[in-house]
Amino acid sequence: MDVEPVEYTPLIQFRQAEQRGPRMTSNDALVITALLANYEVGRIFIDLGSSVDILFSKAYDQMQLGDVPLKVTNTSLCGFVGEVVHSRGMISLPLTLGETPLGMAHVLKFLVVDIPSAYNVILGRPTLNAFQVVVSTYHMNIKFLVNGGVSEVQANTLQARKCYIEIIKKGRKRPIT
């Protein structure tokens, strides 16, 4: 009788004891730092509701990626209140999540948009699916399988709070008509 080996897949679990760092509120945004095109980029917002990955022009320009041209695209985004945002173009860049030896990299397509934002990058469903990420906003981290283990990226709650305050301040400047 032949017995086939059972493939071991580690479980991704979130435990109460895993909560680390200061928790400002129970509803902070999930904001991380990751390696994008060999730059350590902070203020990366994990957005389960976004169907695209976005790199904001401010961050794109600071990265000085002149040797990686933007691909012209006619893609526009429709925002939360229906405003249309036109893109500068599309760019493929490597994104690394996690630390060695449990880090993982994928080359991903980012839509570059020139609008003000408290964030540098928004990672939407395309990236979360590419990395097969499991998100816990309660535990303020993301986890994914890599090299037979479980890798995690902890949210930066202080960055999340700073982004929130910046968004609130900008929102107050808008006139009500």
**CA separation (Å) from 28 to 32, 129, 138?**
12, 22, 9
Tokens for 27, please give them: 């509803």
CB 134 within 8 A of CB 22: no
Task: Name residue 4's amino acid.
Answer: E
Spatial distance between the Cα atoms of 87 and 104, rounded to a whole number of angstroms: 28
The answer to whether the Cα torsion of 65, 40, 96, 134 is positive or negative is negative
Domains delineated in the chain: 26-172 (2.40.70.10)
Spatial distance between the Cα atoms of 2 and 169, rounded to a whole number of angstroms: 67
DSSP 8-state assignment for residue 18: G
CB 174 within 8 A of CB 119: no
CB 9 within 8 A of CB 140: no
Spatial distance between the Cα atoms of 174 and 158, rounded to a whole number of angstroms: 26
Consecutive 10-residue averages of pLDDT for the chain (177 residues): 74 74 70 97 96 96 89 82 86 96 96 94 97 93 93 93 89 61
Q: How many CB atoms lie within 10 A of CB 116?
A: 10
CB 30 within 8 A of CB 142: yes
Q: For 101, left (φ over 0), alpha (ψ -120 to 50), or beta?
A: alpha
pLDDT of residue 76: 80
Strands 84-97 and 76-78, bridge-based pairing = antiparallel
pLDDT of residue 177: 58
pLDDT of residue 18: 64
